Amino acid sequence: MSDRSPITSAGPANFAAHLAALMRAQGMSAEELAQKSGAGRAGTGIALRPTVSRCVSLDTADRLANAVGGDLPAMLGPYTCPGCRGNVPAGFTCNECGARGGES
């Protein structure tokens, strides 16, 4: 059994969005996060791209959150970019989340 379709429950997807944003904010690569958190490359990759059949354990999620200075409970909630709040003017790119204006 290996369902690679995108995750349907919100928690892991929210966590991935928060995690990616905190990594960007700190200029941390997935490799660095893998080492700092002890989650390993596989665990870090799964955390950043969760699928229906593959999610990180709560323990791993907690370690990843700590490694980027995040708060796990908050990271399971909906992600709203603090830079653009989901609203990027057309022609601009949000430095926080990388969203581009004029696309949606």
Q: Which residues bind Zn ion (CB under 5 A)?
A: 81, 83-84, 94, 96-97, 99
| CB closer to Zn ion, 57 vs 80 | 80
Write down the least CB distance from residue 83 to Zn ion, Å: 4
Using the minimum distance from each CB to Zn ion, give the nearer residue, 21 or 33. 21
| Closest approach of Zn ion to the CB of residue 74, in Å | 17
Q: Quick one: DSSP state of residue 93?
A: B
Kindly report each contact of residues 76-83 with a partner whose C-beta sits within 8 Å and lies 24 or more positions away, as own/partner: 76/11, 76/14, 76/15, 77/14, 78/10, 78/14, 79/14, 79/17, 79/18, 79/21, 81/21
Q: Which is nearer to Zn ion, 19 or 84 (CB)?
A: 84
